[in-house]
Amino acid sequence: MSRDNHAGADWRAAATAQLVARLTAQADPATQAHWTSYLKGRARFRGVPMAAIRQSVRALWRDHALAAYATDDLVELAMGWFAAETSEDKLAGILLLAEQLAPRLEQRHADALAAPLARGELADWNVVDWHATKAVHAFLTVRPADLEQRALLVAHWADSEQLWQRRAAVVSFAKLAPRPPFDGFVQLVLDACARNLVSNDRFAHTGPGWVLRELSIAAPDDVAAFIAAHPELSAEGRRMASARLRGGTYRRR
């Protein structure tokens, strides 16, 4: 039986305080400088390696007996971490969803997964792509019988006004694209890719380019036709999308 919420947010505050303490203790200035430079100052970092973030989340799960809490309350905990300024806290939220909560997520939780993207709390390619390929991918695949319906919900994010939510709508399918899991998947992904191209932003094109490259393993003719039909796809996106279609040694770009 899950614990109720009568204690208010006290348990969430305690768990969050322990997360911050653990991340602060493991922060490294050199790692912080590296990632700040790599992301060109578009994100703030503590300087904590991913392995340490994962260990921190697992320790919190154990030390605070988080498995006993209601799923919605734990999703709310992750949402609080997404609202933090530093990327490691956001990544902790992603790992909480992907590695601990995924089996408990229902279709209705698609809205919660979209929320930090819609609010701008996940707004650089690093955390967005982690969220898409970890948390959202886990949400999609944890119950195979529900995958098609869940995929439809995620693909709908491509209609968002938010660049990063549109990108997540396609990047979330990157691991599934080489082996389409249901009839209609190819067209679903192609349509979501097309709806990303309404912006000239670099990342509105590299997301589709990445997913089209993976989709070309299973549907090379469809991807080639998409590239030909969308001259607005950037040169970089086009190179990515056609990487497996060109002759010679395969290159990612």
Instruction: Report phi then psi at 249, rounded to 5.
Output: -65, 135
95: number of Cβ within 10 Å: 24
Every domain of the chain with CATH number 1.25.10.90 lies at 1-104, 146-253
From first to last of its 253 residues, what are the pLDDT tens digits of the chain? 345 444 556 999 999 999 999 999 999 999 999 999 998 888 999 999 999 999 999 999 999 999 999 999 999 999 999 999 999 999 999 999 999 999 999 999 999 999 999 999 999 999 999 999 999 999 999 999 999 999 999 999 999 999 999 999 999 999 999 999 999 999 999 999 999 999 999 999 999 999 999 999 999 999 999 999 999 999 999 999 999 998 666 566 5
What's the CATH number of domain 146-253, 1.25.10.90, 3.40.50.2300, 1.10.1280.10, 2.60.120.10? 1.25.10.90
Q: Is-contact 79 93, C-beta < 8 A? A: yes
52: number of Cβ within 10 Å: 18
- Model confidence, pTM: 0.93
CATH of domain 1-104: 1.25.10.90
> Which pLDDT tens digit goes with each residue over 42-64?
899 999 999 999 999 999 999 99
CA within 13 Å, CB half, 230? 25
Q: Is-contact 189 154, C-beta < 8 A? A: no
- Report which secondary-structure segment, H or E, holds 92: helix 87-95
Q: Is-contact 35 47, C-beta < 8 A? A: yes
